[in-house]
Structure formats: C-alpha cells, structure tokens
Amino acid sequence: MDRIKAIIAKQLQVGPLELLQVQNHIYGCFILMEDITGKPNALQGYNYVNANYAFNIDEQFEEIGIRYGFLMDTKLIYESYPPEYKAAWLEIYKGLGQKTIEDSDQIEDDIIELIKTSVAPEMAFFLHALKTGSLPQEWLHSVIKILTGKTDTVKADAIKADDVKTVSVNAETEHSPNGLANAVIEKQTKRFRTTKRYHSIVIKKPLAKTRRALKLHGLKT
C-alpha cells in the first residue's frame, strides 16, 4: 500500500490537464477494484470479464478513467503514467478476487486521504465526484477550461501538500446532462445491476458512485 501511495503522490505534482487525468483514472481504478474484489472469476489473466464485454486492464490501462471514472472524454486518456504506477495497480488487481471488500476499502481510504492533503482545493475534482460519481455544474466549467487550454488554474510547483486545505466531499449535487460528465453506458448497464456498493435509492439515479463514497455519506451498501 505504501508503494502505490508514494507513486500517486508524485503523480499529483503535475499540471492541470494531467492532474485531471490522473484523478479521473484513480476514480476509475476504484470502481474497477470494487467490481473485482471478492469475485475469483471476474479477472481472467488481465481480462476483466463481464456478461456484456471484456476489458483488458493491462492493454487498455490508460482507458480505465474514461471507462469507469467521473468524466468521459478522450482528452482524459491517461497515457503519461509512469511504468511503476501501472505496475502497482496491476499488482493490486491480481489478488483482489481472493480479498474482501474491507481490503479494497482500506486502499481507497488511504488514497482518498492522500488526495485530500496533496491536491489544491481548486483542482480537487476527484473529491467533488465522490458523492455522486459526477461533477457539479461549476466544476464542469473548470473541466472545460482545462480541456480547451483556456486556464492555468494550478501551476505544477503550486501543488504542495503543506499549502492545501482539506476539501469536503459534500459537494453540490447539480449535474450537467452533457455526456462529458457521465460515462452513462457502462455505469447504467453494468455497475447498478451487478455491484453491491449501491443503496437502493441510488439505483434510481443514472450516476455511479464508489462504495466508499456511500460509506462516507452514511448510506448502507
């Protein structure tokens, strides 16, 4: 666990676009991790096998964010990751079929805490997506500025853990209907139907949440 935390800590010290990419990718890694945990046959080699499709977490590693994250846009394909980042996640996934959900919860808790203390408040997209699986409208405006190159919200050298305040995950719940915000196809057809991390109330909403987010907000899983 210390290994993945140390690697992610370095990945959070980057410019706006890559910082958005890595946060979206980590969120996707959480969703995928929860789907695999405790299911010995869910991962066959590096193939995540679902009733409707198969996804190779090795060959398509850079796509985890845009498939399972809180934003779906090809500009957020995370191709600049270092080899050790991928290796650490693949190592975690390899043993998840024999793990319990509490094991993946602990990994999530540690990484969430790292993000809280390492990312500047104005760039804390991950934390503001935890509650709903999507971003509030005002945060989507910031996303668009970053994707279109119209902002330099945070300089790489300005993201320092000792200068960052903890960001509350109790973000507003107003959402954009734009496809940019929601990976709707997979979130509706796969996760709501098969995973245990959603409360029955949440199933009525077309947005995915991590099981950890539900626990943080007092909902049963």
pLDDT tens-place string over residues 15-57 = 999 999 999 999 999 999 999 999 988 999 999 988 788 899 9
Residue range 54-81: average pLDDT?
Answer: 95
pLDDT band at 65 (very low <50, low <70, confident <90, very high): very high
Q: Regarding predicted confidence, which is higher, 196 or 52?
A: 52
Is-contact 6 118, C-beta < 8 A? no
Q: With H, G, I as helix, E, B as strand and everything else as coil, classify residue 41.
A: coil
Answer whether 0.85 is exceeded by the pTM: no
Please report, for the chain, the start and end positions of each structural domain, with discontinuous segments joined by +.
2-216
Residue range 171-187: average pLDDT?
Answer: 34
Q: Give the pairing of strands 43-44 and 54-56.
A: unpaired
Residue 169: CB atoms within 10 A of its CB come to 18
Residue range 190-200: average pLDDT?
Answer: 30
Question: According to the model, what pLDDT value does residue 87 have?
Answer: 96
